[in-house]
C-alpha cells in the first residue's frame, strides 16, 4: 500500500503545494522563499525518511508568518491523508537529538487528538532573517491538522540555530518511528477504541 499524498492550499496570503511519501528515502525539494525554514524542512525529510516537496509563494513582503503557518497546515493535512486509517503503524514515537551544545526531545502520538506542548526558549529572537516565534506556529498548525499529540522540548542550548535544528531533527526522527509499521500488529488499528 502506498502512503503518499498531495495537498494544495490557496489563500489570499499564500499558494502552497505539499507532496509527501512516508516510505521514501529522505529526498526533498523545498522552496518556501525563507532560506532557514527550507533548511529546517529538509531536516524533517532526511531524518524522517520522508520524500517531501514543499512549494510556497507567500506574502513575504509582510513577514514569514503566513507562509510558515500555512505550510504547517498543508503538511499536517498531507500527513493525515498519507497515513490513511493508520492500521499497523507504531503510533508513538520519540527522539532525543543533540546538535553541539543543544539538545532537543520530541515525543508524539498519532492519536487523532491534536495537542501541542511547546517548551522551547530560543536564545535569540532571530536566526538570520527567520523569526524564532515561527517554529511554534508551524508545529501547532501541523499538530492541529495532522491530529497528533506533540510534545517538543529544547532541554538545553546556547546557539539559537542549533536549538532550532535539533528540534526539527528530533521531530523528523520521532515521526519516522511513529509512522513505521509494527510487524507484530499488521492491519491492526493501534488503539483499544479501534479507531484513531
pLDDT score for 186: 80
Q: Let me know if residue 186 belongs to a domain.
A: no
Write down the pTM of the prediction: 0.97
For 24-41, how does the pLDDT look when each residue is reduced to its tens digit (9 = 90+)? 999 999 999 999 999 999
Provide the number of structural domains found in the chain.
1
Range of the domain at 63: 4-179
pLDDT score for 113: 97
pLDDT score for 35: 98
Q: Let me know if residue 137 belongs to a domain.
A: yes
Report residue 146 as a C-alpha cell: 495532522
pLDDT score for 187: 85
Counting as low any pLDDT under 70, the low residues of the chain are 1
For 102-119, how does the pLDDT look when each residue is reduced to its tens digit (9 = 90+)? 999 999 999 999 999 999
Answer whether 105's CB lies under 8 Å from 120's CB: no
d(CA 116, CA 152): 8
Q: Let me know if residue 9 belongs to a domain.
A: yes
Q: Let me know if residue 188 belongs to a domain.
A: no
CATH code for the domain of 146: 3.30.230.40
Give the C-alpha distances (Å, rounded to integers) separating 21 from 39, 58, 63, 132, 149.
19, 24, 30, 28, 21
Amino acid at each position: 500500500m502506498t502512503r503518499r499524498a498531495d495537498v494544495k492550499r490557496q489563500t489570499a496570503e499564500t499558494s502552497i503545494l505539499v507532496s509527501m511519501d512516508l516510505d521514501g528515502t529522505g529526498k526533498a525539494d523545498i522552496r518556501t522563499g525563507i532560506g532557514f525554514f527550507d533548511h529546517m524542512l529538509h531536516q524533517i525529510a532526511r531524518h524522517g525518511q520522508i520524500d517531501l516537496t514543499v512549494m510556497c509563494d507567500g506574502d513575504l513582503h509582510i513577514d514569514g508568518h503566513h507562509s510558515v503557518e500555512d505550510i504547517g497546515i498543508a503538511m499536517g493535512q498531507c500527513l493525515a491523508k498519507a497515513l490513511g486509517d493508520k492500521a499497523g503503524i507504531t503510533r508513538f514515537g520519540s527522539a532525543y537529538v543533540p546538535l553541539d551544545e543543544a539538545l532537543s526531545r520530541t515525543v508524539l502520538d498519532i492519536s487523532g487528538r491534536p495537542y501541542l506542548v511547546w517548551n522551547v526558549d530560543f536564545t535569540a529572537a532571530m536566526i538570520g532573517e527567520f523569526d524564532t516565534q515561527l517554529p511554534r506556529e508551524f508545529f501547532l498548525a501541523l499538530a492541529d491538522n495532522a491530529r497528533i499529540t506533540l510534545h517538543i522540548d529544547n532541554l538545553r542550548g546556547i546557539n539559537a540555530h542549533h536549538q532550532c535544528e535539533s528540534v526539527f531533527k528530533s521531530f523528523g526522527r520521532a515521526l519516522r518511528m511513529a509512522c513505521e509499521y509494527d510487524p507484530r500488529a499488521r492491519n491492526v488499528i493501534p488503539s483499544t477504541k479501534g479507531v484513531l
